[in-house]
Amino acid sequence: MEIILFQPQIPQNTGNIVRTCAVTGSALTLVRPLGFSTSARMLKRAGLDYWENVTVTLIDDLVQYLSNTSKNFYFYSSHAEKPYTETAYLPDDLLIFGSETAGLPALYRERWPERFRTIPMRENNRCLNLANAVSVVIYEAWRQQQFV
């Protein structure tokens, strides 16, 4: 699996996600611009001491990245209707999450509406914390792979 974070803003969330990627064997792709520095000092401060255990890629253009892949990819949004549990995940799928402050730009939903999934929540709540949302989805996808 590969987790893609679109313009993450909070280094502590990304730090938690790096840890989740490390323990699940998932790769991580970060789409610039980031809301934090990736200098060694800043990464260590954000809890990213797991960084060396995770394949991390930084990219500038998510549309181009997705247009050039043959892998399945899914976006996660509190505005989607299809639950994340109704997806049959494959080991090389790309799981894409928006930034903490702005989510995903509308262009992704306009271009790939059938690829949007949601994590069910009670009404009148905004959304889960980004690191928690990634954990929920990656563990469901990994469970479907028998935790291999």
Say which CATH topology domain 2-144 has. Answer: Alpha/beta knot (3.40.1280)
Q: Is the pLDDT of residue 47 over 60?
A: no
CB 4 within 8 Å of CB 95: yes
Q: Please state, in angstroms and rounded to a whole number, the distance separating the CA atoms of residues 47 and 49.
A: 6
- Pull the structure tokens for residue 147: 């935790």
Each residue of 97-106: pLDDT tens digit?
A: 999 999 999 9
Range in 11-25, 40-54, 95-109 with the lowest mean pLDDT: 40-54
Average pLDDT, the chain: 92
Q: Which of 72, 84, 82, 80 is nearest to 4 (CA)?
A: 72
Packing angle of the helix pair 11-24, 130-144 (nearest 10 deg): 10
pTM: 0.94
